[in-house]
């Protein structure tokens, strides 16, 4: 799918901040949404992603992972969304299949390999395959960076576990493909844009919100019933501790609907029945465009 971000200069190339290095799955998600011409601004942390996304002098927005189908939600990133809800809005999403491959320099064969380098999570995701070999497994800070180092060092005995984009960028061969154990592995990425530059999308059929109930018995159940009665699908509900309180929680919810007016009606009802409701963004369901 191809998305757009509104910028003050219509001729301005799309530049988005991402967590990780060039060749990472964040860059693959950015390309899936915007096309291969998108420019990525690598960041060390998700906090830096938000910082650059807010800077209109350098970026058009940001791309941030929010959950994985195996590992679950990235809770600190929900907190970042809450902290920046007035400045940044969700305008889209990408569901990216996470496919790990064994990469090596041209001419290198499986029998030549002595070591495999990658991020610890990627190594764990591929342990059924890697565990059958007699290679030394070296944990690094990033899958794509591991691939880059294999390329730069022209190594004949070290391979990396990373995605196809890293193989393409660093001219490495895929000598064993899809070595991850769980084949149905997806990461969901959010597309973020500065709130002042967001134009309402009339095709939007999904919204991300955060609400706080009055913490009385049955209050959450009443909110959920209200959402269901309006014919809206609650595709995610994530509790979040409220900082500075004793075990009180707010709730992040993803709502799927047929048209924006349907969501607007529920939003009005929620404002009158919850202590607070914040809309992180309305956008087109990434599953529908997958």
Q: What superfamily would CATH give domain 101-176?
A: Periplasmic binding protein-like II (3.40.190.10)
pLDDT digits (tens, 9 = 90+) for 160-185: 999 999 999 999 999 999 999 998 99
Joined together, the tokens standing for residue 104 give: 């090596």
Task: State how far the Cα of 147 lies from the Cα of 172, in Å rounded to an integer.
Answer: 8
The yes-or-no answer to whether 15-98+185-194 and 206-285 have a common fold is no
Q: Which pLDDT score is estimated for 227? A: 95
> For each successive 10 residues of the chain (290 residues), what is the average pLDDT?
47 85 96 96 97 96 95 93 96 96 97 96 95 96 96 97 98 97 94 96 95 87 94 95 83 96 95 94 80
Does the CA dihedral 30-33-35-39 come out positive or negative?
A: negative
Residue 216's pLDDT is: 79
Q: What pLDDT sits at residue 215? A: 74
Terminal Cα-to-Cα distance of the chain (whole angstroms): 7
pTM, full prediction: 0.91
Axis-axis angle for helices 219-229, 260-273 (nearest 10):
160
Each domain of the chain, given as residue ranges in start order, spans: 15-98+185-194, 101-176, 206-285
CATH number for the domain whose boundaries are 206-285? 3.30.70.260
Q: Name, in order, each residue with C-beta under 8 angstroms of 232's C-beta and a sequence gap of 6 or more.
A: 255, 256, 257, 262, 263, 266
Q: What is the structure's pLDDT at 13?
A: 81
For 238-287, write each residue's pLDDT tens digit.
Answer: 998 888 787 788 999 999 999 999 999 999 999 999 999 999 999 999 98
Q: What is the pLDDT of residue 288?
A: 47
In 9-163, where does DSSP find H-type helix?
A: 25-34, 46-54, 75-83, 120-125, 127-130, 143-152
CA 204/CA 91 separation, integer angstroms: 9
**Residue labelled with tokens 């919100």:** 209
The CATH label, of 3.90.1150.10, 3.40.50.280, 3.40.190.10, 3.30.1330.20, for the domain at 15-98+185-194 is: 3.40.190.10
Distance between CA 246 and CA 186 in Å, rounded?
Answer: 34
């Amino acid at each position: 799918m191809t998305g757009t971000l509104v910028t003050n200069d219509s001729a301005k190339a799309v530049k988005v901040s991402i967590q990780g290095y060039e060749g990472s799955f964040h860059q693959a998600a950015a390309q899936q949404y915007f096309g291969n011409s998108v420019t990525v601004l690598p960041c060390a942390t998700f906090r830096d992603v938000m910082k650059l996304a807010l800077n209109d002098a350098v970026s058009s927005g940001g791309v941030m992972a929010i959950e994985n189908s195996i590992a679950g939600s990235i809770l600190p990133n929900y907190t970042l969304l809450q902290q920046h809800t007035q400045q940044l809005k969700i305008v889209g999403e990408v569901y990216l299949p996470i496919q790990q491959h064994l990469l090596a320099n041209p001419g290198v064969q499986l029998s030549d390999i002595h070591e495999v380098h990658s991020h610890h999570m990627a190594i764990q995701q591929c342990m059924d395959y890697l565990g059958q070999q007699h290679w030394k497994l070296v944990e690094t800070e990033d899958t794509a960076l591991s691939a880059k180092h294999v390329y730069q060092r022209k190594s004949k005995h070290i391979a990396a576990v990373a995605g196809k984009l890293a193989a393409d960028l660093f001219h490495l061969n895929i000598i064993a493909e899809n070595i991850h154990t769980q084949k149905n592995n997806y990461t969901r990425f959010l597309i973020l844009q500065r709130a002042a530059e967001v134009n309402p999308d009339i095709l939007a059929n999904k919204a991300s919100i955060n609400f706080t109930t009055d913490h009385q018995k049955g209050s959450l159940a009443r909110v959920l019933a209200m959402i269901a009665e309006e014919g809206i699908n609650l595709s995610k509900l994530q509790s979040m501790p409220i900082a500075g309180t004793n075990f009180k929680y707010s709730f992040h919810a993803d709502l799927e609907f047929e048209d924006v007016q349907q969501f607007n009606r529920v939003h009005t009802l929620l404002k009158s029945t919850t202590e607070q409701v914040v809309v992180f963004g309305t956008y087109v369901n990434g599953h529908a465009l997958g």
